[in-house]
A and B are shown apart, each in its own frame.
Chain A
Amino acid sequence: MAKNPLHTPFCEMFGIEYPIIAFTHCKDVVVAVTNAGGFSVLGEAMHTPDEIAADLKWIRDRIGTKPFGVDLVLPASVPPAGGLDELKSKIPQGHRDYADMIHKKYDVPEPKGKEALHQWGGLNQQMARAQLEVLLEERVPLLASGLGNPAFILDAAHARGIKVFGLVGKTRQAKREIEAGVDGIIAQGFDAAGHTGEMGTFSIVPEVVSIAQGKPVIAAGGVTTGRHLAAALCLGAAGVWTGTLWLASRESDVDMIIKERLIASTAEDTDFSKSISGMTMRVLKCPWTTEWKKPEAPAPLPAPYQMLLSSPYIQGANDNRRGDLMTEAAGQGVSFVTAMKPARQIVMDVVDEALTTFENLTGDD
Chain B
Amino acid sequence: MDESSKPTTDRAVPGFDASVAGKRAECDGGGPILGTRYAGRQEFTGTLSGEFVDHGDPPWRWYLLKDLERKPDNYADECVWCESGSVFLVDEPNRVPGRP
> Do B37 and A75 touch across chains, with their CB atoms under 8 A apart?
no
- In this complex, what residue of B is CB-closest to A115? B35
Count, A-B residue pairs, CB within 8 A = 192
- In this complex, what residue of B is CB-closest to A299? B73
Residues of A near any B CB (own CB < 8 A):
25, 43, 45-46, 73-80, 90, 115-117, 119-120, 123, 125-126, 129-130, 132-133, 136, 146-153, 155-156, 159-160, 169-170, 172-173, 176-177, 179-180, 194-195, 197, 274, 276-281, 299-305, 307-308, 311, 314, 329
Q: Supply 25 A–B pairs (Cβ within 8 Å), ascending by A.
A: A46-B36, A75-B83, A76-B85, A77-B81, A79-B77, A80-B80, A90-B76, A126-B56, A149-B85, A152-B59, A152-B61, A155-B1, A155-B58, A156-B7, A173-B86, A180-B85, A195-B40, A277-B33, A277-B38, A300-B74, A301-B74, A303-B72, A305-B76, A308-B34, A311-B36
> Do A147 and B39 touch across chains, with their CB atoms under 8 A apart?
yes
> Do A169 and B7 touch across chains, with their CB atoms under 8 A apart?
no
> Do B85 and A77 touch across chains, with their CB atoms under 8 A apart?
no
**Contact A75 B30, CB 8 Å, known A46-B36, A195-B41, A329-B38:** yes
Chain A CB within 8 A of B23 CB: no
How far apart sit A277 and B35, CA to CA, in the bound complex (Å)?
A: 10
How far apart sit A74 and B96, CA to CA, in the bound complex (Å)?
A: 18
> Do A197 and B74 touch across chains, with their CB atoms under 8 A apart?
no
How far apart sit A5 and B82, CA to CA, in the bound complex (Å)?
A: 41
> Do A303 and B34 touch across chains, with their CB atoms under 8 A apart?
yes
Chain B residues with CB under 8 A of A173: 28, 86
Which residues 1-38 of B sit at the A interface, judged by CB distance below 8 A? 1-3, 6-7, 9-10, 12, 27-38
How far apart sit A280 and B33, CA to CA, in the bound complex (Å)?
A: 11
Most chain-B CB neighbours within 10 Å: which of A148, A274, A278, A301?
A148
Chain A residues with CB under 8 A of B79: 80
How far apart sit A133 and B10, CA to CA, in the bound complex (Å)?
A: 12
- In this complex, what residue of A is CB-closest to B9? A129
Residue from B34, B59, B93 within 8 A of A123 (CB atoms) = B34
Chain A CB within 8 A of B52 CB: no
**Contact A279 B72, CB 8 Å, known A77-B29, A151-B85, A152-B60:** yes
How far apart sit A237 and B23, CA to CA, in the bound complex (Å)?
A: 36
How far apart sit A117 and B31, CA to CA, in the bound complex (Å)?
A: 15
How far apart sit A219 and B32, CA to CA, in the bound complex (Å)?
A: 21
Chain B residues with CB under 8 A of A307: 33-36
Most chain-A CB neighbours within 10 Å: which of B82, B83, B88, B96?
B83
How far apart sit A176 and B73, CA to CA, in the bound complex (Å)?
A: 27
How far apart sit A166 and B93, CA to CA, in the bound complex (Å)?
A: 20
B 49-87 to A, binary, CB cutoff 8 A, 1 in contact else 0: 000000110111110000000011111110111111110
Nearest chain B CB to A148 CB, angstrom units:
5
Chain A residues with CB under 8 A of B96: 176, 179-180
